[in-house]
């Protein structure tokens, strides 16, 4: 049934505001613009007293416009202005050679390597576990409830122990961080895959039975393709968790490299702008990772006949 939204209004011409491209992107663009505007206002408001006190301490004469421009350019602001953050970010990315200790690219790579390694390990383990659970009733009834329970437990809180214990065993650097990331992301992947592998309808399973398909054939021809959407949904969740895990894993030992380390040092030394730049880097990493998984998903889906 057609809805009233489709019916033409009395006049049949359309103004530019109804152009499909505009209609699609206008709301988001407006929201983002509004948020940036609010950010600027907040920066001014929050940094005001800081800047004014700075001027007073130095006993230099100042005007309101001096304070205004000062709030948007302070060295240790309470809330850096958007352009400050952007500048710091661009500076960190392009201003130093990629492997220099002050380059954001370097830190991003450190965190990213732990993230990706952990993600791959966790994905492999999670998928393997899901396959086992689906084929063994025993494992399904004994293990699955524990996996579901573990979702409710703040697993990230285990990060410090892992780091310390593994450090005592002599493992430093990349491996402990990726083990934490792997540990964090294998649960959602396992659960997502179990849901996906058990998603085929009874009708389809019976059809396979009429063809005397072996369990292996059922797996490859029915369960696996049916689980692809669930797999990708959980992969997207897992990749963000893996990133969070890698960042948090850098905290306990006061690591020197990585986004988490940047966050920590920024907070210790009161370098607000550095902190925000590191956050933006983390955001860029997260979106990038999800984007990549999304691209892979879309090409797989097209390959499998989705429109």
Partner 1 sequence: MATAKPNISIVSETSAAPSRGQAPYGAESVSASDLTSQEKATRRRVVDAQNISLTFETADGRVDALSNVNLQVADGEFVSFIGPSGCGKTTMLRVIADLQQPTSGTLLVNGMTAEQARLARAYGYVFQAPALFPWRTIEKNLKLPLEIMGYSEFEQQQRVQRYLSMVNLTGFERKFPWQLSGGMQQRVSIARALSFDPALLLMDEPFGALDEIVRDHLNEQLLHLWKSTGKTVLFVTHSIPEAVFLSTKIVVMSPRPGRIIDVIECDLPTDRSLEIRETPEFMKVAQRVRNGLRAGHSYDE
Partner 2 sequence: MDPRKLRLGFLLATVAVALAFVFAPAAQAAPLLARPVAAGLCAGAALLLLLAAWLGDIRSILPGLIASLASGSASLLLLHDPAVAGEASVGFWAIVIACWVSAALCVINLATVRNLRRERLRVIDIAVPLLFGATVFYLWEVGVRGFGVPPVLLPSPSAAAARFAASLPILAGDFVQTFIRGVLIGYVVGCGAGLLVAILAHRFDFLGRGLLPLGNFFSALPLVGIAPIMVMWFGFDWPSKAAVVVLITFFPMLVNAIAGLSAAGHIERDLMRSYAASHSQSLSKLYLPAALPFIFNALKINATLALIGAIVAEFFGTPTQGIGFRISTEAGRMAIDMVWAEIALAALAGMAFYGFVALAERATTFWHPSYRT
Contact range with partner 1 by CB under 8 A, out of 3-11, 70-78, 192-200, 213-221: 3-11
The DSSP-derived string for 106-164 is HHHHHHHHHHHHHHHHHHHHHHHHHHHHHH-HHHHHHHHHHHHHHTTS-GGGGHHHHHH
Q: 66: alpha, beta or left, given left = phi > 0 and alpha = psi -120 to 50?
A: alpha
CB neighbours of 135 closer than 8 A, spacing ≥ 6? 215, 219
Q: Does 99 bind partner 1 (CB under 8 A)?
A: no
Residue 278 binding result from partner 1, partner 2, none, given CB thresholds of 5 to 8 Å by partner type: partner 2
Site for partner 1 contains 65 (CB under 8 A): no
| Residue ranges in 174-233 that form contacts with partner 2 under rule CB under 8 A | none
- Cβ closest to partner 2, residue 87 vs residue 224: 87
The pattern of x and - marking residues 52 through 71 that bind partner 2 according to CB under 8 A reads --------------------
Half-sphere exposure for 242 (CA within 13 Å, toward CB): 31
CB of 7 to partner 1, least distance (A): 6
- Work out how close the CB of 60 gets to partner 2 at its nearest, in angstroms, rounded to a whole number: 26
In whole angstroms, give the CA distance from residue 274 to residue 84.
10
Exactly one of 49, 69, 142, 299 binds partner 2 (CB under 8 A); which one?
Answer: 142
Residue 10 partner contact from partner 2, partner 1, none using kind-dependent CB cut-offs of 5 to 8 Å: partner 1
The answer to whether residues 232 and 108 touch, using CB atoms and an 8 Å cutoff, is no
Binding-site string for partner 1 from residue 6 to residue 45, where x marks contact by CB under 8 A and - marks none:
xxxxx-----------------------------------
Contacts (CB under 8 A) with partner 2, residues 257-276: 259-260, 263-264, 266-267, 270, 272, 275-276
Which of 268, 5, 120, 129 shows the shortest CA–CA distance to 278?
268
Instruction: Tell me how far, at minimum, the Cβ of 13 lies from partner 1, in Å.
Output: 12
Tell me if 285 sits within 8 A of 243, measured CB to CB.
yes
Minimum distance from residue 165 beta carbon to partner 2 (Å): 6
Residue 153 touching partner 2 (CB under 8 A): yes
Integer Cα distance of 101 and 257 in angstroms: 8
Report the C-alpha gap between 246 and 259 in whole angstroms: 9
- CA count, 13 A, side-chain hemisphere, 42: 11
Residue 118 interface partner, choices partner 1, partner 2, none, CB cut-off 5-8 Å depending on type: none
Do 198 and 135 contact (CB within 8 A), yes or no?
A: no
DSSP three-state, residue 5: helix
Q: Report the site for partner 1 in 197-226 (rule: CB under 8 A).
A: none
Q: Which residues bind partner 1 (CB under 8 A)?
A: 1-2, 4, 6-10
Q: Which residues bind partner 2 (CB under 8 A)?
A: 1, 3, 26-32, 35, 78, 137-138, 140-146, 149, 151-158, 160-161, 163-165, 168-169, 236, 240, 243-244, 247-248, 251-252, 259-260, 263-264, 266-267, 270, 272, 275-276, 278-279, 282-283, 286-287, 290
């Amino acid at each position: 049934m057609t809805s009233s939204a489709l019916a033409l209004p009395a006049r049949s011409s359309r103004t530019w505001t109804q152009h499909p491209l505009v209609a699609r992107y206008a709301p988001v663009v407006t929201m983002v613009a509004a948020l940036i505007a609010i950010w600027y206002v907040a920066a001014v408001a929050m940094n005001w007293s800081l800047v004014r006190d700075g001027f007073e301490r130095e006993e230099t004469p100042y005007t309101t416009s001096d304070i205004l421009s000062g709030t948007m350019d302070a060295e240790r602001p309470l809330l850096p202005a958007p352009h400050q953050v952007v500048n710091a970010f661009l500076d960190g990315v392009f201003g130093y050679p990629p492997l220099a200790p002050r380059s954001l690219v370097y830190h991003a790579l450190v965190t990213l390597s732990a993230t990706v390694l952990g993600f791959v390990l966790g994905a492999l383990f999670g998928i393997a576990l899901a396959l086992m659970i689906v084929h063994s009733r025993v494992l399904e009834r004994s293990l699955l409830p524990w996996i579901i329970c573990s979702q409710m437990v703040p697993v990230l809180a285990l990060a410090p122990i892992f780091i310390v214990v593994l450090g005592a065993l002599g493992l430093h650097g990349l491996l402990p961080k990726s083990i934490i990331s792997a540990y964090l992301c294998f649960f959602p992947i396992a659960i997502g895959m179990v849901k996906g592998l058990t998603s085929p309808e009874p009708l389809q399973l019976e059809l396979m039975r009429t063809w005397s398909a072996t369990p292996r054939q059922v797996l490859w021809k029915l369960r696996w393709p049916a689980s692809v959407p669930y797999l990708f949904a959980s992969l997207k969740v897992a990749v963000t968790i893996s990133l969070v895990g890698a960042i948090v894993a850098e905290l306990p030992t006061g690591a020197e490299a990585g986004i988490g380390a940047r966050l920590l040092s920024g907070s210790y030394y009161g370098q607000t702008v550095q902190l925000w730049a590191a956050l933006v880097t983390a955001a860029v990493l997260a979106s990038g990772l999800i984007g990549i998984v999304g691209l892979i998903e879309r090409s797989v889906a097209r390959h499998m006949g989705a429109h």
